[in-house]
Amino acid sequence: MRRLADELAAQGRKVGRDTVAALLKAAGFSLRGNARVLAGSHHPDRDAQFQHLNATVADFLTAGYPVISVNTKKKEQIGLFARPGREWAPPGAPVKVLDHDFPSHATGTAIPYGIYDLGRNTGFVVVGTDHDTAAFAVAGLRRWWTEEGRTAYPHAKRLLITADGGGSNSSRAKACKANLAVLATETGLEISVCHLPPGTQCRCLS
């Protein structure tokens, strides 16, 4: 509103910010955030890519093999910081937190790595405190297989992973492929990975 008032003043129309606000409201304007709806890119084979991915998922599920969707979620600072949500507490005894979320007050950073089991419609989250690396991602997969996967799929010989094309799951990251190879050797699983096309996102556990 200040910028609009200054621009109008430069044109010889002196008005205050309150007047600008009233005029905007009268014209049907209101304060709004932006909307993330525009695709950054579009490839002519995009539909064929998704059809291939869906067909591969269907083949694995039909055969009784596990299919998981993975994604690193929003990082959070660890400490006495204000967070959305509520919890039961006696009157006059709220949880006391810091009045500012300064990074210097954090004791670390929580990195949630989400694993969604499509066949069983269940989620599994591994939280790390180091860095979002390929080693961390595969360590999360190893933990899921050890704690849930091998019990839920005792006869599985193959595993399909769907993932974004960037970050710790990057299709170009040699470290990710090397760590997956180690996991395949440990578990005896034939591991396949389907990366989503660029500009699209895997939203497991959102």
pLDDT in tens, the chain (206 residues): 889 989 988 999 888 889 989 989 999 998 888 877 666 666 677 788 888 889 999 999 999 999 999 988 778 888 888 878 888 888 888 888 888 878 788 888 888 999 999 999 999 999 988 777 888 889 999 999 999 999 999 999 999 999 887 666 666 778 888 999 999 999 999 999 998 876 565 544 33
The C-alpha atoms of residue 164 and residue 132 are separated, in whole angstroms, by 14
DSSP state of 145: I
DSSP state of 53: H
71's CB contacts (< 8 A; 6+ apart) are 113, 114, 163, 164, 169, 201, 202, 203, 204, 205
The C-alpha atoms of residue 2 and residue 148 are separated, in whole angstroms, by 57
Question: How many CB atoms are closer than 10 A to CB 189?
Answer: 20
The residue behind tokens 């005792």 is: 154
User: Domains along the chain?
Assistant: 1-33 (no CATH), 41-195 (3.30.420)
pTM beyond 0.95, yes or no: no
- The whole-number pLDDT of residue 159 equals 97
